[in-house]
Structure 1
């Protein structure tokens, strides 16, 4: 059996206080408990540390050696705890974040400067992947996922909800006209996703329901590719507001069929493996992103 830090502390207190009774008062134990701790410590070390008589206590040669080393060990433990406390209060270390390229470009990159200014000791590593990844395999701390989550082994934190809009460029509308009814979309060039299929179910009320199945003439795996195609006047698409709100505000893309839009919002979640205590650098990033995405969180529970 190995000596424990609390046993070292009792031994040092006895020597520094000069008696078992004084040490007992200092550490808040009974004299008998202190005596038992000393005996247990000597038994573990298989040596006598203190020669005890009714009138005095003297350290043995082994006791003097152990006393000095024990003080050094406890001091190092105190310093380690202090450093960990400071590290806990000041987030630091490498933070690996993974997200699909549209979210990375439009919802993370614009705020990197502010995040670094706020947390200068965090080293960011930003990776993009339009497909779901294995967090452990990719050594990822946090992944941003849009839409419904399926992996129950991950802990998720809702960062916000982003509206979906039906969009086209002014140039496309000048050349091909503006659809006034949902059914008129069949006459237009539609831009959609190669996968998953549900991304081509647009949130539009029509005669047969609240979601309209788009049949893309041009399909892409990335929302950013679809955005660029729409900006280039290649057709009508359905994209999330987090990546297009500036295009809409500056007139580069025009929302269509607004009255028929059901107001469906895509959930934006940060996912990470369940830990007993979330690392402070991860907690700070989640708080920061939730703050920046607050404009999408109206109506969240």
Structure 2
């Protein structure tokens, strides 16, 4: 390899700050040192990366291509350093975590004691919200999201995939009867969500195709509310395994229309913005969750 990480960092920082002097200040080096690093880099690559004028620095076409690669390389090195820091150092400070109420109660809360035993210097703040939150607005360092991701500005770490099932309480089925085919749902009370609408598409195989859009008879904004409605015998719900495993094991909720249910697993991701100061804390937390949730439910 011809180039060094110091040369790549100097090049990237000059672009990010807009000048050699500003880059030197950020990297705590001299302007002449940054300038020499750029010259060495261009000499090794045998190309002009930047056109220097008295007023501005302008990337050449080759410089634009090389910058993208340089960013990837430096980010990979930083990630590797963070991972090692997580193993050998003691991350400390406040870590704000946002998750839906069901995930917080059924998955995160039972893991908190073990996590803090491993990382006692981290101060956890746990925030719940059943909608998608803006991480910056809510000052969240990491959030847990279910389903397909839409925000491309976030880093995402897959944690697990949780199966969706149609569930009802034995008391409700005794009262209303057990559905034996999809059409039977027309005479049952259906429990669903106010938003997003995608949560009201149930993983059912039916004559019109795969996936049945339902209109809830009772709608709630929280998955935990829907779960409690089902437990109380209010109707049939479609819920993720991570929040109903204990209910199903105890027989408080039972699956219906198993033969017509598609194998649909809802992805669960940890998402976060890249933040150098908090990276080791975030990485330790996400690595901890990924390890504990390695097997899909």
- The two structures have a TM-score, normalised by structure 2, of 0.69
State the distance in 2 between where 1:6 and 1:104 align.
46
Identify the residue that residue 287 of structure 1 maps to in structure 2: 287
Whether the 8 Å contact between 1:157 and 1:270 is mirrored in structure 2 is: yes
**Alpha-carbon distance in structure 2 between the residues aligned to 1:87 and 1:93:** 16
Q: Whole-Å Cα distance in 2 between the matches of residues 219 and 238 of structure 1? A: 12
Residues 157 and 88 of structure 1, relative CA distance in 2, 3 Å threshold: same
**In 2, Cα distance between equivalents of 1:162 and 1:88:** 32
Residue aligning to 2:186: 186
Contact in 2 for aligned 1:88/1:280 (Cα 8 Å) = no
Partner SS for 2:106: helix
Count of matched residue positions in the alignment of Structure 1 and Structure 2: 220
Task: Report which of the two structures shows the higher radius of gyration computed on alpha carbons.
Answer: 1
Q: 1:208 to 1:86 in 2, by over 3 A?
A: closer
RMSD of aligned alpha carbons: 2.5
- Aligned position for 2:244: 244
**Where do 5+ consecutive residues of structure 2 fail to align?**
1-20, 31-84
Give the distance between the partners of 1:105 and 1:177, measured in 2 at CA: 31
SS in 1 for 2:155: strand
> Following the alignment from structure 1 to structure 2, what is the Cα–Cα distance between the partners of residues 114 and 181?
44
- The SS at the match of 2:246 is helix
The one-character-per-residue Cα deviations of 1:185-223 (angstroms, maximum 9, x if unpaired) are: 111000000111111100010111110111211000110
Q: Distance in 2 between matches of 1:222 and 1:88?
A: 40
Match of 1:203 in 2: 203
| 1:48-67 to 2 correspondences below 5 Å | none
Instruction: Kindly report which structure 2 residues correspond to 1:134-153, keeping only aligned pairs within 5 A, or say none.
Output: 134-153=134-153
SS class of match (2:152): coil
Aligned mates of 2:284, 2:29 — CA distance in 1? 34
Q: Structure 1: 5+ residue runs without aligned partners?
A: 8-84
Aligned to 1:164: 164
Distance change >3 Å, CA 175–CA 156, structure 1 → 2? same
Which residue does 1:47 correspond to in 2?
none
Residue 70 of structure 1 aligns with which residue?
none
TM-score with structure 1 setting the length: 0.69
**Secondary structure of 1:140's aligned partner:** coil
Taking the aligned partners of 2:111 and 2:118, their CA distance within structure 1 comes to 11
Paired position in structure 1 for 2:97: 97
